[in-house]
Amino acid sequence: MTAHSSSTSREYTDEEIRSLVRDLESLKSGQTAAAALIGCGPRAVPYLRAFVLRGRARGVYQPRQLAVETLAELGAKDVLLEYLEQPVQIEDAVVRFGEEAVRSTAARELGRFGTHDVFERLRKLAEDRLLPGLVETLGMFRKTEAVPYLLRALEDDICRSPAQEAIRKLGAQAVPFLVDAAAKRSPSADEESPSSKQRRRWSLRLASEQELSPLEWPQVRALLDDSDPEIVMTAARVALDIAPTGDKEYAVRRLIEMLPRANWFLKGEVQAALAAHFDLARKTIESEIARRSASDQKEKAKDMVLRLLINLKRQTAESRTDT
């Protein structure tokens, strides 16, 4: 958002600045008012501050969002931080959703400043409440101190995507944190919450996107015996890349054992992994095919795993014949 030359060609009076701030309420002329306010420079900041800090949160949140963006354009870092650090208690769900969108925008806009004090104050805010814009800005700093908050954000459906992106930007620095998080069940091992499972699944999957070293393997190996199919399958795919031969063979067995509980996406991943390591997996696959083929015709007709393994063996043989 930038000011038009027409909005910077004259000095505005204090009353005119107040009027421009009120004009932010108009969905039609709000952008024009914002551009004029940017042209006013620092003089507009106190009026915008009052609008944002003392104004009433509403379901129609775009005017407040526009005011926050205008403050960012004016370099009013401290006002944005002051706004975010205000305690918020909103009962109405629609109004709360709107105000969270405004707060998320404020946190995102603070990313343009990139200073240590911004990082520290946002990190403190993240201890109480995560927002997509807050997670996104913490990630922009590429500091490992932000990782605990990014890992917690993996549990949240709204914040997960910016958290994933932020963790990917950290690259290999994040791997030890991710491997550790993949093993930590919350609130306990016996009664793990669905959000904890999501965090562990994504932590391991994000770790697997990096080049893991054999030094990280012992921690990942323990996850081959996890109760969650997705975690087992991700750990097994890691095993096929970096583990000793004995662990690779065990990983193949675990992949096959998990197939009945896997969704179609995971089944596709398992099939691809077994095909890529077919020479290693051949003996286990053929043994499983023989075991399942010993069932009666009715059982075999319903056996999805048997069909998948037979198709995998045939396709691999055909692809090798073609080459």
CB-CB neighbours of 280 under 10 Å: 16
Is the confidence at residue 262, as pLDDT, over 70? yes
Q: How many CA atoms lie within 13 A of 149 on its CB side?
A: 28
- Burial label for 257, CB within 10 Å (0-12, 13-18, 19+), is middle
Both tokens of 54, joined, read 């003392």
| Mean pLDDT score, 36-49 | 96
Confidence of residue 88 (pLDDT cuts 50, 70, 90): confident
Query: Which pLDDT tens digit goes with each residue over 119-149?
Result: 999 999 999 999 999 999 999 999 999 999 9
Q: What is the mean pLDDT of the chain?
A: 92
What are the boundaries of each domain within the chain?
Answer: 1-113
Is the confidence at residue 8, as pLDDT, over 50? no
Residue 298: per-residue pLDDT:
87
Rounded to whole angstroms, the Cα distance separating 143 from 174 reads 10
Rounded to whole angstroms, the Cα distance separating 212 from 31 reads 49
CB-CB neighbours of 137 under 10 Å: 27
Is the confidence at residue 1, as pLDDT, over 60? no
Both tokens of 48, joined, read 């915008």
Rounded to whole angstroms, the Cα distance separating 122 from 218 reads 35
Query: Which pLDDT tens digit goes with each residue over 274-311?
Result: 999 999 999 999 999 999 999 888 888 899 999 999 99
Rounded to whole angstroms, the Cα distance separating 70 from 64 reads 10
Percentage of residues in the chain with pLDDT exceeding 70? 96
Contacts of 107 (CB under 8 A, 6+ apart): 84, 122, 125, 131, 133, 134, 136, 137
